[in-house]
Amino acid sequence: MKRISRLLSLVLLLGVALFATSCSSKLKPLSQNNFNVTPSPLETVGNQVPVTINATFPEKWFNKNAIVTITPVLKYGNNQELAGTPYSFQGDNISGNRTAVSQNRGGNFTLNSTFPFEEAMRSSELYLRFDGRVKNKRSNLPDLKVADGVIATSALADVATTTPSVAPDGFQRIIQDKQEANIMFVIQQANLRQSELNKQDMAAWKQRVEEAFKDPKQNVNVEVSAYASPDGGLSLNETLAAQREQNTSNYLEGELNKRNIDTDVFAHYTAQDWEGFRQLVSASSLQDKDLILRVLEMYPDSETREKEIKNISYVFDDLATTVLPQLRRSRITANIEIIGKSDEEIMTAWTNNPKELSVDELLYASTLTNDESVKESVYQYVTANFTNDYRGWNNIGTMYFKQGDYAKAEQAFNRAAQVNPNAPEVNMNKALLAIHENDLTIANELLGRSAGADGLGEAMGLLNLLQGNYNQAVGAYGNSYTNNAALASILVSDYNKAKQTLESVEKPDATTAYLLAIIASRTNNFNDVISNLRNAIGRDRTIAVKVLNDLEFAKYRTNQEFMSLLK
């Protein structure tokens, strides 16, 4: 009997062991308490939805022969879902490259995923999907919900409202011009020689002054600058330079009177032209010119300079024949202002005969009208008649961009780039197109070649917004008054600046009011929430649906006035 009893006990123990093994081959479902989601609810960074999940496997849960893969899954819309990054774990008895989990100790692990944002994700749920297997037998582990919804405020950043860069026209109402001529003198003399007065450049100078004076679109005055070379002593040169100035001024006044030219003559003289001396020596091929230049630096006193330079006798001989004669002169300058067409004259010419206008005048004409169709016509004319000027192609591309015709904008910007691939405006505008295509890497490269482009701060601000660099975005926008600039301030919780920016937007739209409502919600100002949402919905009725799904306003979903507004 004892023997039978022992046999029965052995069978019973074996059965218990088999039962225990059978039960342990199954993995039990985990609960939400085993997972901590950050942030919760989820929140967009730019146009991405990043999530960090801290997972805990409790002691004794992970079977030594188990392989478990956990995949974050975002469920949204009409039975849509998007899988994130899968993470695989293995038990003590499994070999491989998965993350090992001790059955006795359990463990804590971090799962990171990022989902590209879609509007429907505002109303969504984050689940964990489990694929658990023990000795190739699948354990039935249901999807586990771990978070609700996505706050998508950063996704309000909009490339379509970013101002593309218009290339400058280069038009100048008044152009400064000058005509110069030199009258040379013999050493230690101030008399005007006929050979100098009959030179070709003097004749050309007189003719140019006469033309400018007689042209109602030009203003002219005359400047006389007389000099003596720095050799010969200061007292002598003072007298000599003054006499050269006087003789030259008298001659010019006589010549102007002959031609009935009544204009101002400004005269001055320089006794010792050390600056002119330095320039001529620097540009020369004189032996030991560096030595002469060092003397000029070392000795500010004129007499000492002259003495030291004369002491270098072998050099001074060359100076006396090549440099010093060029300093004994009177330089006469005609300062001319060329007055361009008035705004009225330019627009009249554009209407009646655009061929009268230069390319800069045409591009300037586009700035004189608020009629977008006229602007576009000007740019079309420029592209047809000045095909090798990138500005026409670039600027008409900005028109297409603002119209939302990105295909035509791309064609125009590419044509501009063929003409001038280094134009900063073209590179910035191509960067905006890259942002529209969500190619932020290319956009970043193009913006790096856009220094000096008008509106670059806005483009850099937008790029930083989309990359989640909110503080940098605020800095890039500076004092720009746009929806995107205000959004950057909202995302760094600077609600006062954001509100001031939105209230200064030149042409507020539905998004302007919507952002003001978000500020009001975050600062618990219910009255402003209602008034701004009413304004936004009045401008764009589709916003009512967005508001209903926006977690920025979730706390008002039980408020009757709020819900009535959205019906």
Q: Give the whole-angstrom CA distance, residue 446 versus residue 457.
A: 14
The structure tokens 């995302």 sit at 491
| Whole-number percent of the chain with pLDDT over 70 | 95
Pairing of strands 124-134, 66-76: antiparallel
Q: How far apart are the first and last CA of the chain?
A: 85
| Amino acid sitting at position 408 | K
Q: Give the whole-angstrom CA distance, residue 156 versus residue 511.
A: 8
Q: Give the whole-angstrom CA distance, residue 74 versus residue 149.
A: 9
pLDDT value at residue 503 = 97
Q: Where in the chain is the domain with CATH 2.60.40.10?
A: 32-151
pLDDT value at residue 313 = 58
Residue 234 makes CB contacts below 8 A (sequence gap 6+) with 271, 272, 302, 303
| Amino acid sitting at position 268 | H
Residue 235 makes CB contacts below 8 A (sequence gap 6+) with none
pLDDT in tens, 66-90: 999 999 999 998 899 999 999 999 9
pLDDT in tens, 393-427: 999 999 999 999 999 999 999 999 999 999 999 99
Q: Quick check: 548 pLDDT over 50?
A: yes
pLDDT value at residue 6 = 55
pLDDT value at residue 467 = 94
pLDDT in tens, 98-109: 999 999 999 999
> Which segments of 284-423 does DSSP mark as H helices, in order?
289-298, 302-311, 313-322, 343-352, 359-365, 372-385, 390-403, 406-419
For the segment 303-320, the average pLDDT, to the nearest whole number, is: 78
Q: Give the whole-angstrom CA distance, residue 52 versus residue 45.
A: 13
pLDDT value at residue 302 = 79
| Amino acid sitting at position 272 | Q
Q: Where in the chain is the domain with CATH 3.30.1330.60?
A: 174-339
The fold for domain 174-339 equals: 60s Ribosomal Protein L30; Chain: A; (3.30.1330)
pLDDT band at 299 (very low <50, low <70, confident <90, very high): confident
Q: Quick check: 15 pLDDT over 70?
A: no
The structure tokens 């979730």 sit at 554
In contact, 484 and 462? CB cutoff 8 Å: yes
The fold for domain 32-151 equals: Immunoglobulin-like (2.60.40)
401-405 long-range CB contacts below 8 Å, 24 or more apart? 401/164, 401/429, 401/432, 401/433, 402/164, 404/160
pLDDT value at residue 388 = 96
> Which segments of 437-559 does DSSP mark as H helices, in order?
440-447, 456-466, 470-477, 483-491, 495-503, 510-522, 526-539, 543-549
pLDDT in tens, 198-223: 999 999 999 999 999 999 999 999 99
> Phi/psi class of residue 293: alpha, beta or left (left: φ > 0; alpha: ψ in -120 to 50)?
alpha
pLDDT value at residue 21 = 42
